[in-house]
Amino acid sequence: MADLSGIGATVIVVGGGGPGADAEPSVRLVRVWEGDWTFVLQLLGSSVETNGEVFTATLPLEHELPTRLLDDTRPKDIRLTVDDGALRWAGILQEYQVIKVDDARVMKIHWITPQPPQLVGTVL
């Protein structure tokens, strides 16, 4: 179950086929952008899972991103990048839903990654 206690200092990415394909969770740089690639925020202390094609974040409704998505005046063209060493995955917001986990209401946000990761740095 996702740790919904608030904002921390790391992002855990687990799953197969993309970042976190190994069995061990590892730290990744996960950033959220508006459609014109304007930086919105960095996800910290959230559980982000992937199957290689879809990234899913589970966040408390009080978090900035769910608040932004529920605001009818804000754009919904939200993108995600996940940097893992020299590789970067990019995703486009697919859907979001408010669900109940234990006694808390949270938002599950799904981004789809339409292409394989891109090399973004030099590997030495």
* pLDDT at residue 24, rounded to an integer: 47
Higher-confidence position of 8 and 76:
76
Nearest of 51, 55, 57 to residue 3 by alpha carbon = 57
Parallel/antiparallel/unpaired status of strands 26-27 and 12-15: antiparallel
Question: Tens of pLDDT along 67-121?
Answer: 999 998 888 889 999 888 788 889 999 999 999 989 889 999 999 988 777 887 6
pLDDT in the model for residue 44: 67
Q: Which CATH class is domain 12-119?
A: mainly beta
Q: Nearest-CA neighbor of 108 among 97, 119, 124?
A: 97
DSSP result, the chain = ----S---S--EEEESSSTT-SSS-EE-EEEEEETT--EEEE--S-EEEESSSEEEEEEETTSHHHHHHH-TTS---EEEEEEETTEEEEEEEEEEEEEEETTEEEEEEEEE--S--EE-S---
Over the stretch 32-74, which tens digit does the pLDDT of each residue have? 999 889 999 998 655 678 887 889 999 999 999 999 999 988 8
State yes or no: pLDDT of 19 exceeds 60. Answer: no
Note the pLDDT of residue 49: 83
pLDDT at 14 over 90: no
Q: What is the pLDDT of residue 27?
A: 64
Q: Are residues 65 and 32 in contact, defined by beta-carbon separation less than 8 angstroms?
A: yes
pLDDT for the residue 46: 57
Structure tokens at 60: 């408390």
